[in-house]
Each structure stands twice: as structure tokens, then as C-alpha cells.
């Protein structure tokens, strides 16, 4: 055993001697990555097993937090349900939208392509631009939707969009879709431009008759890496909605209709200071995101096989 360890340490010494400058180049990134990405996950994991509340020293409570989360916390059930509902609609739909629009834009002349890329991408880059939806769906008669519906005599009095539980989720989904053409959309645009043109010609000789066959037999297989990357970005984004919910529907929203895992997390983390419990929620979300990503990666690998 100790002989093996000795051998191993010799191997690492050797590697260090041979590749010293490479390790040194990676070092700054590695330190920051360890301190602000790996260590926080470990700390969250440990804190989730305690009753830490920022005031007293944390006590070890075992899996108590997780038990409460799953069994006793009714609000968490709502948050979980909302997050899944939200992610299942905006995740795949936003992903599809990103791809289809990128695919449509790809056939346009370069100037139109650049312009439309900008129009579709712009909502996602400007942090607070979604606040305009607060004005569009405002609950008084100045809200744009209400004003139009009133002036066309479709309704008699303004609809309280963000105060009515049934409307909150659908509106948040619309807003999220509006913002969902982000990094993955750009990746698709770039991926499409890089598909070798001669592959389409070769496929046409082999008998592709229309754009749909080209899409299935040439474009999609050639874009597989971009598709996988886009999926990671989209899933992670759609599972971590909180900003737009708090900003538009308020906190807490009517009947918790806009409550998500992340708003639940910030409720316990930055309002109630129950850090142990909040950490359990964070750890849960961390593994959920990882799990869904792995699952989708597995599915996407099958495309074109």
C-alpha cells in the first residue's frame, strides 16, 4: 500500500517537473474556481446538516432539514411544482424556439441575419429590460393589455394580472420565453453558419428533396455539439428562475403562484436567516440541476444515431 502511494507521489512529482508551466498557468483559475465554486458547494452541503442561523453556533441535526423540506414544508411543494411547471414549458419550448429561429434566420441575407440576431438576443442581455412587462401587464387601466382590451370593449374593468393566481405563471412564462434567446441561441446561429455547405450538396445528390430532410439528415447531426451546449444553458436557466418572479409578481406572490425553488431559498436565506434550511434547499436545487442535465445529455446523444 505505502509502496503504491510512494509510486503515485513520484508520478505526480514527475508530472509537475515536466509540465510545471502548464500547472502554473491553470493555478489562478483553479484557486478562484475552488474558492468560489467547489468550496461553496461543500459548505452548503455541510450547512444543510445543521441548524445554522447566523447568530448561534451551528448544531449538527443530521437529515432533519431535508426531512422537513420533503415532508412538512407545504410551501416547498408549491415551489417545486411551480419550478417544474415553469421549467417544463420554458426549457424545451425556449430551446426549440432558439433553434428554430436561428435556423430560419440562417437562410436570410447577412444584413437581415445580423439585425434579427440582435432583435432576438437583445431581451436577454439587458438585466432589467423585462420590467417593461410590468407596464404591459400592469393591473390598472394604464397597463397596455388592459388599456387595449378596455378600448376594444372586450373587458369592462381592468384585469388584476399580477394579483390573480391563475395569470401569474402564464405571464412569467411569456416573459421568460421573451428572454430565453440567449447564449444558446448565439451558439445555434454560429453552429448553423459553420455547417459545411458541400454537405448539403452531397445530400441533395443522395436525394434530399426539401428543407425538412436536409434539417434531419444534415443540419441536426452536424450541430450536435451546439445542441448539447444549448441544452445545458437552457436547463440551468429555466430551473433557476426567481428574479423576474420577485420583480413582477412581488414576494410573496398571490397564493404563492409565482413561488419557485429559488424564491423559497431566498426567503429562508435572506429574510428568515435559517441558513441550515436554506442550504438544504440550495443543495437540493444543485443536485436537481445536475440530474436533469445528465438526463437530457443522455437523450441528446441519441440524436441522429
Of 75-134, binders to another protein (CB under 8 A) are 97, 100-101, 104-105, 114, 116-123, 125-129, 131-133
Q: Which is nearer to another protein, 105 or 168 (CB)?
A: 105
Number of residues that bind another protein (CB under 8 A): 102
The smaller minimum CB distance to another protein, of residues 235 and 249, is found at 235
CB-nearer residue toward another protein: 114 or 165: 114
Which of 87, 168, 181, 248 binds another protein (CB under 8 A)? It is 181
C-alpha cell at 121: 438576443
Least gap, CB of 169 to another protein (angstroms)? 18
What are the two backbone dihedrals, phi and then psi, of residue 37, each rounded to the nearest 5 degrees? -125, -50
Our CA angle for 169, 83, 37, nearest 5°, is 135
170 binds another protein (CB under 8 A): no
Estimate to the nearest angstrom the gap between the alpha carbon of 55 and the chain centroid: 33
Q: What ranges make up the beta strands (E) of 200-246?
A: none
Q: With contact defined as beta carbons under 8 Å apart, do 189 and 106 qualify?
A: yes
Cβ closest to another protein, residue 65 vs residue 242: 242
- Widest pairwise Cα distance in the chain: 86
Task: Examine residue 61 and tell whether it contacts another protein (CB under 8 A).
Answer: no
**Coil, helix or strand at residue 99:** helix
Q: How far is the CB of 103 from another protein (least distance, A)?
A: 9
Phi/psi for 294 (5° steps) reads -60, -45
Regarding 239 and contact with another protein (CB under 8 A), the answer is yes
Within 12-51, the residues that bind another protein by CB under 8 A are 12, 15, 18-19, 21-23, 25-26, 28-30, 32-33, 35-37, 39-44, 47
Q: How far is the CB of 33 from another protein (least distance, A)?
A: 5
Cβ-Cβ contacts under 8 Å for 124 (sequence gap 6 or more): 179, 180, 181, 182, 185
Q: How far apart are CA 197 and CA 201, in angstroms?
A: 7
CA proximity to 69, closest of 261, 255, 235: 261
Closest approach, Cβ 8 to another protein, in A, equals 11
Amino acid at each position: 500500500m505505502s509502496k503504491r502511494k510512494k509510486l503515485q507521489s513520484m508520478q505526480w512529482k514527475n508530472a509537475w517537473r515536466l509540465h510545471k508551466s502548464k500547472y502554473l498557468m491553470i493555478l489562478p483559475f483553479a484557486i478562484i474556481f475552488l474558492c468560489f465554486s467547489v468550496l461553496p458547494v461543500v459548505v452548503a452541503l455541510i450547512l444543510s446538516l445543521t441548524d445554522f442561523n447566523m447568530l448561534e453556533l451551528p448544531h449538527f441535526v443530521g437529515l432533519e432539514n431535508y426531512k422537513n423540506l420533503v415532508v412538512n414544508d407545504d410551501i416547498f411543494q408549491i415551489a417545486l411544482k411551480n419550478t417544474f411547471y415553469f421549467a417544463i414549458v420554458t426549457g424545451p419550448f425556449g430551446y426549440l424556439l432558439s433553434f428554430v429561429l436561428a435556423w430560419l434566420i440562417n437562410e436570410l441575407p447577412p444584413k437581415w441575419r445580423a439585425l434579427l440576431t440582435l432583435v432576438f438576443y437583445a431581451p436577454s442581455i439587458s438585466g432589467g429590460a423585462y420590467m417593461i412587462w410590468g407596464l404591459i401587464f400592469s393591473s390598472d387601466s394604464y397597463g397596455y393589455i388592459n388599456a387595449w382590451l378596455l378600448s376594444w370593449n372586450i373587458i369592462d374593468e381592468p384585469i388584476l394580472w399580477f394579483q390573480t393566481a391563475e395569470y401569474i405563471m402564464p405571464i412569467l412564462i411569456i416573459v421568460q420565453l421573451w428572454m430565453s434567446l440567449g447564449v444558446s441561441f448565439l451558439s445555434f446561429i454560429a453552429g448553423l453558419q459553420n455547417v459545411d455547405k458541400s454537405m448539403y450538396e452531397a445530400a441533395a445528390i443522395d436525394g434530399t428533396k426539401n428543407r425538412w430532410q436536409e434539417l434531419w439528415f444534415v443540419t441536426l447531426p452536424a450541430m450536435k455539439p451546439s445542441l448539447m451546449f444549448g441544452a445545458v444553458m437552457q436547463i440551468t436557466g429555466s430551473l433557476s428562475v426567481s428574479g423576474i418572479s420577485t420583480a413582477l409578481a412581488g414576494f410573496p406572490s398571490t397564493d404563492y403562484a409565482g413561488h419557485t425553488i429559488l424564491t423559497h431559498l431566498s426567503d429562508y436565506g435572506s429574510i428568515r436567516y435559517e441558513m441550515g434550511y436554506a442550504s438544504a434547499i440550495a443543495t437540493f436545487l444543485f443536485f436537481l440541476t445536475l440530474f436533469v442535465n445528465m438526463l437530457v445529455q443522455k437523450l441528446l446523444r441519441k440524436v441522429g444515431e
